[in-house]
Structure 1
Amino acid sequence: MKKVNLYFFISIVVVACSPKLKSNIVQTLSPLSDNALVVVLDISDNQSIIGKAVGTIEAKDGGLAVSCTYYENILNLKKLARKAGANLIKITEHKTPDKWSSCHRLKAKIYSVTNPKQYEIQIEWSADRKLTWKDFKGKPDTINHPNTLAMTNSGFGYESGISMFKEGKIFVQSVFNTNESWVVPKGKNDYVLRHEQIHFDITEIYSRKLRKVLTDAKITSSDTQRAKAIFDKIFNELQKRQDKYDRETKYGDKKETQENWEAIVEIELAKYEFYKENK
């Protein structure tokens, strides 16, 4: 009887095990607030970083860990960075799940920079973070789009977690791609920016729809085929909606129609408010 209870206790500990987090701080700074912006640069990002080197951080498999998808461990690293007073993370090593571990294992250097926004490659949608023209960092493609004032590149994706001990979660994100989004000089006005913001807001609506459909269908990380089919369906709906928005507003030229769309988008964001975050 004791032996059974002992194994039962051990199994609970294993299932509840989180990834092992580690910090090596070389410069002590005041902690940042819980919602302070922290920018993450992946291994392939070669931007020059001008700022204070704060130290290194790591998220690794603590031994049959769960809750250690790339998405979850990036959140873990952001918490470590904020605690250390850093607002920029540069990933230096990324080991993907393999036969030895179901975790994404990450190592990174952390920095304190004056303006973290200037390093952003992707911006995750947030009601508190509206787009500015500084976020449009791409080079205008006036050859393929000669009559276009601005171009917004946004989309959503999902990641599923794998675990031997419980059903993994599926995480959905909607992002704005700064280096693929651009504006020509004469397009830099508040009205055009509002039009582009709605494109990003529409992407967020369909991210929330995706979360809702996945939840209603009780999709888990083991249902890869069903998840992919649902994702493709919602993504196609998003593309059609974006095209309809541009077509009906005539790319923002029809101001009354533009205002109607802004009202519709606000209503739909509120409708799917419950699904604005990964549960």
Structure 2
Amino acid sequence: MKKLLVSAFIFMLLSCAPKLKSNITTTLPLLSGKEVIVVLDIIDDQSIPVSKVGELQATDSGLSENCSYYQNIQSLKKMARASGANLIKITKHKRPDNWSTCHRLWATIYKVENPQAYESQIEWTQDRKLTWDDFKGEPDILNFPNALAVTNSGFSYESARNLFKDGKLYVQSVFSTYQSWVLAKGRNDYVLRHEQIHFDLTEIYTRKLRKAFSDAKINSNKLREAKLIFDKISSELEFKQDQYDAETQSGSKQDIQEKWEAIVVIELAKYDLYKSN
């Protein structure tokens, strides 16, 4: 009787966190939690003064989770803050493919005097209010002949690809600095308050979108349903923005403007549970 040696090979797919690496060449004190950290995308060609702090990486070994673009940007921000850097320039970006489930990012980090001067997008936060310096676009009086200022803000979502479990969807509301503008005669606190409410309305509907995704148990395997919900909430936001301008006459009716400001405070508090991903 011939003996057969049977070997059982068990392959296990191990879910790993992304690999985070840093090469810090300049030692600086860490930044406080409230200090702004600006991220410049790979296509952003702004000139940055020589103030390099080091280099960062957020990569993986092929099969990782928690490494969507949004998640890895948050990881880079944490590393930059710990290194005393306030500006992150993405230098290389590899998207998920057959070899990796991750957005792999390489970046150079800097310490600059005024990081907000480099912002092309501003993510909504409670403490970060708009200033006129954030309106960097050229006035478009042809398409907006009666406007003193125009705010361009919106929301988007990203699906985290995951081989091991249903991936989460991440939602962000942002203000686009180079697509927002103001005329010289509109640079006053009252008009700025009006424009801030436009951004606040975007944040309210961003939170509504997060809630709708949560209520419908939306994940990376339900992207068709996610798109339907996104389109519905987007339409509601567009209607609300138009209603706000119409009722306040673009901010000229002060009593109605103050009413909307009160409504925004209430609505932000109502959806406070959904203020973050």
TM-score class, shorter: over 0.9
Aligned to 1:125: 124
| Partners of 2:62 and 2:161 in 1: CA distance | 14
Please list the CA deviations of residues 160-192 of structure 1 after superposition, one character each: whole Å capped at 9, or x if unmatched.
Answer: 111110110000000000000000000000000
Q: Displacement, 1:51?
A: 4.4
| Structure 1 residues 7 and 127: alpha-carbon distance in aligned structure 2, compared to 1, 3 A threshold | farther
Moved beyond 4 Å, runs of 4+? none
Opposite residue 156 of structure 1, the aligned amino acid is F
Unaligned runs of 5+ in 1: none
Higher radius of gyration, 1 or 2: 2
Letter in 1 for 2:76: L
Corresponding residue of 2:72: 73
* Offset, 1:214: 0.4
Distance 1:18 1:108 in 2: 19
Shift of 1:34: 3.4
Q: Give 1:149's aligned amino acid.
A: L
**How many Å separate the matches in 2 of 1:71 and 1:167?**
17
Give the count of matched residue pairs. Answer: 271
Structure 1 256/7 Cα, relative in aligned 2: closer, same or farther at 3 Å?
A: farther
Deviation of residue 7 (structure 1)? 6.6
Alpha-carbon distance in structure 2 between the residues aligned to 1:228 and 1:242: 21
- Encode CA deviations 1:176-211: one digit per residue, 9 max, x unaligned: 000000000000000000000000000000000000
Q: For structure 2, which runs of at least 5 residues remain unmatched after alignment? A: 1-6
Q: Following the alignment from structure 1 to structure 2, what is the Cα–Cα distance between the partners of residues 143 and 225?
A: 37
- SS of the aligned residue for 2:52 comes to strand
Alignment partners' CA distance in 2, 1:163 and 1:261: 41
Residue 105 (1) aligns with residue 112 (2): no
In the superposition, the TM-score normalised over structure 2's length comes to 0.95
Q: Distance in 2 between matches of 1:223 and 1:89?
A: 33
Aligned to 2:142: 143
Q: How does 1:1-279 map to 2 (within 5 A)?
A: 14-15=14-15, 17-278=16-277
Between Structure 1 and Structure 2, the one with more helix by share is: 1
TM-score (norm 1): 0.94
Whole-angstrom distance in 2 between the partners of 1:51 and 1:200: 33
Structure-2 change in CA distance of 1:201 and 1:7 (3 Å): farther
Asked if structure 1 preserves the Cα contact closer than 8 Å seen for 2:62 and 2:99, the reply is no
Percent identity of paired positions between Structure 1 and Structure 2: 62
